[in-house]
Amino acid sequence: MAGRRLHICHVMMTLGGGGMENGLVNVVNGLDPARFRSTVVCLHELGLLAERISGPAVTVIDLAHRKGLAPDLVFRLARVLRRLRPDVVHTRNYGANFYGTLAGRLARVPVIVNGEHGMVQLVGRRQQWVGRAIALMADQVLCVSPGLRDFLVARLRYPARKVEVIVNGVDLFRFEARGADTAARRRELGIPADAWLVGSVGRFYPFKDHASILGLLERVPAVDGRPLHACIIGAGGLEDEFRRDVKDRGLADRVHLPGFLQDIHAYYPVFDVFMLLSTDNEGTSNVILEAMAAGRPVLATEIPGNGHLIRHGENGILVPPKGQDKLAALVRETASLLADDARRSELARRGYEFVHERFSLSGMIDRYADFYAGAAR
């Protein structure tokens, strides 16, 4: 490989607004163009984050193939890969792993890497069986948290020698709240100046459990005389259904849903507490890292993936992932945090220090560069 750039082909279903997609954009934009060139192949559609791809050595291809099971997509993608002749194909999550690995083998790509970014796509027996079979066909499996690696190896019997971990990183400077005009952002979102604001970022999928935030608002209308509001930034999935639920519960004046926002970094500072209430594994959550980098106290569920980011009571708060215990703990911890300025500040400070010590974007990109170079030897 000496003397030429490595060609890495990333296979995605779409570049919609999610943490996995955001991480991919950060990687291809950040890899040294003197050492790497990247091609991103979207199987179904480009998605919102495609606009953020700016690397000088990055090409994006939209196959715009129909959704649903599509065996012919394997052959179509294989033809694309034969033309591209990449050194490494890196697929991400169940659908892209399936199509990308089969197509990569047909095209005789030298190295195929399966990416695993969470457990949700592997909850069913069929998905687990297919996921493991595809992983056995790949050369390596790359996941984003130690907890996810343990799940893949211990529960799904992925070969331990194949599974490696590269945790996510964030652009720390971008998410710092230097000069942030939080009052103007709150006015833009329609939030009263005297309101407490809890916030979350994520697509409207069932496992994200944004509904627990509605349960919180129903049980905690105010803290210390200040009304409690919520803002959830994201789009897609069950968004329309969620908006109807908000209206049916009579919470439309206290729940703010701006949809997908490109400049998300500018909105973290408006939150008094950041929440991620997912019921299942999150890998290494970008939004938790971003909230910490923005100096926000974080409350999240105690699920694999979050445990290596949050130490309960030290740099954040953990609550149970499901059931009545979850809602009871959410109500208790939120009310306690909002009533205690010193505790919120201390959790935020320790979270900020933690993410700066371990989760820089430059460090993550360096690890990907080393991984690709090693895989292509």
Cβ neighbors of 124 (< 8 A, separation 6 or more) are: none
Judge whether 22 lies within some domain. yes
- Are 299 and 332 in contact by the 8 Å Cβ rule? The answer is no
Judge whether 347 lies within some domain. yes
| DSSP 8-state assignment for residue 221 | S
Per-residue pLDDT of 236-258, as tens digits, reads 889 999 999 999 999 999 999 99
- Does residue 158 register a pLDDT over 80? yes
155/190 same-domain check: no
Between the alpha carbon of residue 14 and those of residues 24, 50, 60, 104, the distances in Å are 11, 9, 11, 18
327/214 same-domain check: yes
140/257 same-domain check: no
pTM here is: 0.85
Judge whether 237 lies within some domain. yes
364/340 same-domain check: no
Sequential DSSP letters for 194-209: T-EEEEEE--B-GGG-
- Are 278 and 303 in contact by the 8 Å Cβ rule? The answer is yes
Once rounded to an integer, what is the mean pLDDT over residues 290-299? Answer: 96
CA distance 84 to 77: 10
88-92/111-116 β-pairing: parallel
pLDDT greater at residue 126 or residue 160: 160
CA distance 256 to 188: 11
Once rounded to an integer, what is the mean pLDDT over residues 306-315? Answer: 93
Among 5-14, 108-117, 144-153, 358-367, where is mean pLDDT lowest?
Answer: 144-153
Burial of 100 (C-beta count, 10 Å sphere; 0-12/13-18/19+): buried
CATH number of the domain enclosing 57: 3.40.50.2000
Judge whether 129 lies within some domain. yes
- Does residue 2 register a pLDDT over 60? no
Instruction: Give the number of residues written for the chain.
Output: 377
Per-residue pLDDT of 226-237, as tens digits, reads 999 999 999 988
Per-residue pLDDT of 88-99, as tens digits, reads 999 999 999 999
Q: Show the domain range for 214.
A: 182-358
pLDDT greater at residue 126 or residue 113: 113
- Characterize 253-264 residue by residue with b for buried, 16 or more Cβ atoms within 10 angstroms of its Cβ, and e for exposed: ebbbbeebeeeb
pLDDT band, residue 179 (cuts 50/70/90)? low
Once rounded to an integer, what is the mean pLDDT over residues 129-142? Answer: 94
147/249 same-domain check: no
The DSSP bridge partners found for residue 228 are 196
pLDDT at residue 194 in the model: 95
Domain count, the chain: 2
151/251 same-domain check: no
- Does residue 120 register a pLDDT over 70? no
Per-residue pLDDT of 27-71, as tens digits, reads 999 999 999 999 999 999 999 899 999 989 999 999 999 988 899
Judge whether 365 lies within some domain. yes
Nearest to 274 by CA among 306, 248, 226: 306
pLDDT at residue 121 in the model: 61
Judge whether 40 lies within some domain. yes
pLDDT at residue 199 in the model: 97
% of the chain exceeding 90 in pLDDT: 77
308/342 same-domain check: yes
